[in-house]
A and B are shown apart, each in its own frame.
Chain A
């Protein structure tokens, strides 16, 4: 299994509070992704990174920001959590990116915003 960890694995937070999720990889892969998964929608890309300090928006980026200061870490921040951000969040990595490539996923973070 690819060395990808996510923390926390579960979190319950209140509306309006900031939340940061962390993705850590030991594979030295260049590309990292944040997805959310909701029933009926499948996986939707929030943000991705193609290198240290290089990030870009995905399909559902509103309300989220990301940072990547080291190759191994990709942080997802909800500046002010809303109930619509209750979801399962998956981080993924890939080596090549840009061109069609296999992605490997972390175990996910279950976030509940009350």
Chain B
């Protein structure tokens, strides 16, 4: 099992839809989890940090399932501007490994 795995997508959804994607991790010692958003040809930017069971910020909700070792990101009422690639990273893990990302495209 890879250290961090994400469904690469792409997820193509209409505006206003709710979309969720998961990030699975293999290191049970991971205690903190981060979601980053990366626009095309740009740097990753921190979206959310999760230090306990979950976190919510407006339309974005991150939920942690420690038993199954995955963290999900839920986006409600999708906007065109949400189109991006979403990267997760559970820490600590070997070599600060990031997931390869899930690509989301929100269409009018």
Residues of A within 8 A of B (CB): 33, 35, 40-45, 48, 58-59, 90, 99-108
Residue of B nearest to A106 (CB): B43
Residue of A nearest to B46 (CB): A102
Number of interface residues of B (CB under 8 A): 22
What separation, in Å, do the CA atoms of A33 and B31 have in the docked complex? Answer: 20
Chain B residues near A101 (CB-CB < 8 A) = 32, 91
- Does residue B95 face the partner (Cβ distance < 8 Å to A)? yes
Contact of A100 among B32, B45, B95, B98 (CB under 8 A): B32
What separation, in Å, do the CA atoms of A90 and B34 have in the docked complex? Answer: 17
Q: Are B97 and A45 in touch, CB under 8 angstroms?
A: yes
- Given A42-B100, A100-B30, A101-B91, 10 other A-B residues pairs in contact with their CB atoms under 8 A: A40-B100, A42-B87, A42-B98, A43-B44, A43-B87, A43-B98, A45-B95, A100-B32, A104-B46, A108-B43
